[in-house]
Amino acid sequence: MRLVLTLIVVVIFFSCNDSNLVSKHELTAHGLKEPVEIVRDKWGVNHIYAKNQHDLFYAQGYTAAADRLFQFEIWRRQATGTVAEILGAEELNRDIGTRLFKFRGDMTTEMNHYHEDGVEIITAYTQGVNAYIDAILKTPEKLPVEFKILGIQPQKWTPEVVISRHQGLLGNIGLELQVGRAVAKLGPEKIKDLYWFHPKDPNIAMDPSINTDLLSDDILTLYNAYRKPVAFTKDHIVPNFQNIKEVEVVTSAYEDKNDMYGIGSNNWVIHGSRMADGNSYMANDPHRTVAVPSLRYMNHLVAPGWNVIGGGEPEIPGISIGHNEYGAWGLTVFRTDGEDLYVYELNPDNPNQYKYKGDWVDMKQLSETIKVKGENDHIAQLFYTQHGPVTHIDSINHVAYAVRCAWLEPGGSPYLASLRMDQAKSWEEFRDACNYSHIPGENMIWADKEGNIGWQAVGIAPVRRNFSGLVPVPGDGRYEWDGYLPIIEKPNDYNPTNGYLATANQNVTPEDYQHWDAIGYSWSDPFRGDRVNEVLESDKILTMEDMMALQTDYLSIPARILVPMLEHLVFTGTAEEAKKRLVNWNYKLEANSIPAAIYVAWENQIKKMANEKFIPQEGKGIVPGIQLAKIIQWIQAPDTRFGESPMLSRNQFLSEAFQNGVADLEKKLGPDMDFWHYGQEKYKHTYMQHALSGAVNDSLRAKLDLGPLPRGGNAYTPGSTGSNLRQSSGATFRIIVNTGDWDATLGSNGPGQSGNPDSPFYDNLFKPWANDEYFPVYYSREKIDSVAVTVTQLIPLGK
């Protein structure tokens, strides 16, 4: 029923717009200096027109909170370590971890790192958030349904909430412990064989002073609790909203445990000489967790000194991906290792002391009081070494572990330094702004209306002179960071002769680069990037249509490598028929494609069987999986790892994997191959499941959840949809900017701008996104007014 009502509301909005009837509102707000005008277009994007900087960010906070209030409240509780207050003792470790990893430096220094007016901007933003909370609490019956489901109300923000680090792509500490455990079991050479470390050869030998038997302890419990998404159960729900039956959890039919490398992004900038209209272009599609509401939120911010449009995380002021009147920019992950796990010897006579450079040194201690639903307050004791927060103390074996975090330096709040980029007028100003972008490690790209294109890797990068950062090290003073590499000295390029720059989370460090002791060793598989380069390297003069096609490109380079190997393999029965379906296939993983379904089933079996065959038993459960790039290297040049007759055994491996894949499809989709199409509910699809979905009753679940809808692609295609058959990661936000015509910018942001299930903008972009469609991201006031559905005047209270 909700879907029908939503459609009716959207049609009314659209038809009103067509008749030049725009819904107009006037609201008063305490704390504004001057009136602010907010024009909402028919796709749900707010265009904010303010007369000063303070009011601009006040209004951004106000409108974002109005759209994403429940998301904001859960973010606030994650940021402040107050989740146990509403969900109980099961969330106590999360809150302890949050307090443990809290930024405790000077807030003025912190806020002004992101922008010279950072204190004003961030404070104004939180004032706007709080103004909306004040307004909605006057009519609490109008709160989004999630608050009623949990029986809670939103609470006020402070600048400390904005600068929280809890949601960021922060580092590799989990991988570091994983590799340390694996090295302890299998030795460094075997681990180098199984993992794809490059571009250099890291030292991953464990220091002999570390008792590796103890690495199996839950060393990172507090860190992991701090970082994980909030999960809700039936017990958290007000009784009349509860689910009264067991819920069949909607999960993937194939869960790729190594899908971490599928979470990244694509971006590129193209010089006007390569484009049909002569203008430079910027394209970006960040790949993150697919969720409702979306991780991204779009805004247009206009005030003296500001005219910037694009997307970012809704709880952060400014725009992290988009354009102003001078240039456009985007980002992808440039893997940067900003975390290390230190292991300490403790004083047997005083467990609060650790050995450092031959002396016993006292840990710093703090006490935090945490409210716990249904229980007495919990008093948490937090410990710190000179390297950082202590996550585990083993008093029996006199060992402690701490995480050193580059992101606890001032400026470690993810994406917030984009505020400086938002006002850049040239490549030089943009690159200077990049100097402040600490977290996460990114490939920042730039294209401007003068035709220039550039690339600058960013991210705070510790310099490790005598260790790799890939395994835990003793905290006794022998393994220290030698400061940080100046960000401007990370890899970069400007106006290359080939006319384009592109990144897709693969290693893009030039071979002649010098500062290798500040470059990471783990990267995504190269296939997305290879395909992007393949298209952009062609002699073809490109158009906007080509940009859209490349962002949603489902050609699989692994398929193009592997499928020809089937030619000389002999099958019978259903497997032989399936092989015939792959003859003359275009290697595109398109929804409704039968060859795509057959190939993906085979690829999944290749990965599964490779993990079973090549990861020794001692490494099972530690090594999560072998990257496909490694497996394909082995398949292309088989050696004795396959057996005494490598080529014959390789072919047997491929044959068995193919037959297993076919059998899996037959079991899952039935005996009729005509029904084996890719992109269906039983195979590859998107289903956006709200965080409360599994805990609430059927009618509410239908209101909250979206889908299923068909999807194409996988983790290795530029149109990335992750390795899981129920899409769990990918690009819900996309943008393509023509720097010669800002109104020609195109974008997408599924499932919608709003997180309120009762809003017409909750799911209005879901189906278009799933169908790889775009909408115009208008910049000029004339174009914006032509698609406006509401105009809201925010008036200072008392004026």
Per residue in 739-775, pLDDT tens?
999 999 999 999 999 999 999 999 999 999 999 999 9
Percentage of residues in the chain with pLDDT exceeding 70? 95
Give the pLDDT band (50/70/90) at residue 3. Answer: very low
Over range 311-336, report the average pLDDT.
97
- Above 60 in pLDDT, residue 706? yes
Over range 93-114, report the average pLDDT.
98
Give the pLDDT band (50/70/90) at residue 243. Answer: confident
Question: Residue 484, class by beta-carbon neighbours within 10 Å (0-12 exposed, 13-18 middle, 19+ buried)?
Answer: middle
- For residue 114, the 8-state DSSP code is H
Please state the separation of Cα 534 from the chain's center in Å.
Answer: 25
How does 314-333 read in b/e, with b if 16+ C-beta sit within 10 Å?
bbbbbbbbbbbebbbbbbbb
Percentage of residues in the chain with pLDDT exceeding 90? 93
Q: Which residues pair with 359 in a beta bridge?
A: 356
Query: What whole-number distance in Å separates Cα of residue 633 and Cα of residue 627?
Result: 10
E-assigned strand segments in 640-782: 685-688, 706-710, 729-730, 733-738, 746-749, 775-776
Nearest to 768 by CA among 42, 33, 215: 42
Over range 444-471, report the average pLDDT.
98
Distances (CA, A) of 102 to 276, 441, 597: 50, 20, 46
Over range 282-294, report the average pLDDT.
94
Q: Which residues pair with 356 in a beta bridge?
A: 359
Give the pLDDT band (50/70/90) at residue 798. Answer: confident
Question: Residue 301, class by beta-carbon neighbours within 10 Å (0-12 exposed, 13-18 middle, 19+ buried)?
Answer: buried
Give the pLDDT band (50/70/90) at residue 429. Answer: very high
Residue written as token pair 């419990």: 221
- Above 50 in pLDDT, residue 2? no
Give the pLDDT band (50/70/90) at residue 789. Answer: very high
Give the pLDDT band (50/70/90) at residue 259. Answer: low
Query: What whole-number distance in Å separates Cα of residue 511 and Cα of residue 516?
Result: 10
Nearest to 458 by CA among 475, 473, 441, 436: 441
- Above 60 in pLDDT, residue 6? no
Least confident of 9-18, 421-430, 605-614: 9-18
What's the pLDDT score for residue 169?
A: 85
Query: What whole-number distance in Å separates Cα of residue 562 and Cα of residue 580?
Result: 15
Three-state DSSP at 109 gives helix
- Above 80 in pLDDT, residue 264? no
What's the pLDDT score for residue 504?
A: 97
Q: What are the start-end ranges of the H helices in 564-721?
A: 573-581, 594-614, 628-636, 646-669, 698-704
Query: What whole-number distance in Å separates Cα of residue 247 and Cα of residue 224?
Result: 26
What's the pLDDT score for residue 242?
A: 87
Considering only CA atoms, give the Rg of the chain. 27
Three-state DSSP at 169 gives coil
What's the pLDDT score for residue 261?
A: 57
Contacts of residue 240, defined as CB under 8 A and 6 or more positions apart, other chains included, come to: none
Per residue in 549-564, pLDDT tens?
999 999 999 999 999 9
What's the pLDDT score for residue 171?
A: 84
Per residue in 498-537, pLDDT tens?
999 999 999 999 999 999 999 999 999 999 999 999 999 9
Pairing of strands 23-29, 788-796: parallel
Which amino acid belongs to residue 634?
Answer: W
What's the pLDDT score for residue 206?
A: 98
Contacts of residue 321, defined as CB under 8 A and 6 or more positions apart, other chains included, come to: 284, 286, 310, 311, 312, 329, 330, 331, 733, 735
Please state the separation of Cα 658 from the chain's center in Å.
Answer: 33
- Above 70 in pLDDT, residue 5? no
Three-state DSSP at 65 gives helix
Question: Residue 701, class by beta-carbon neighbours within 10 Å (0-12 exposed, 13-18 middle, 19+ buried)?
Answer: middle
**Whether 280 contacts 452, CB under 8 Å:** yes
Number of H helices, E strands in the chain: 24, 31
Backbone angles phi, psi at 332, to 5 degrees: -140, 165
What's the pLDDT score for residue 20?
A: 55
- For residue 275, the 8-state DSSP code is B
- Above 50 in pLDDT, residue 10? no
Least confident of 166-170, 273-277, 423-427: 166-170
Write out the DSSP string of 493-505: EES-TTSEEEESS
Over range 440-455, report the average pLDDT.
97
Which amino acid belongs to residue 80?
Answer: T
Per residue in 24-75, pLDDT tens?
999 999 999 999 999 999 999 999 999 999 999 999 999 999 999 999 999 9
Least confident of 164-173, 248-257, 688-697, 755-764: 248-257
Nearest to 332 by CA among 508, 534, 530, 542: 508
Please state the separation of Cα 590 from the chain's center in Å.
Answer: 24
Average pLDDT across the chain, whole number: 94
What's the pLDDT score for residue 567?
A: 94
For residue 757, cis peptide bond before it (omega within 30 degrees of 0): no
Per residue in 369-422, pLDDT tens?
999 999 999 999 999 999 999 999 999 999 999 999 999 999 999 999 999 999
What's the pLDDT score for residue 750?
A: 96
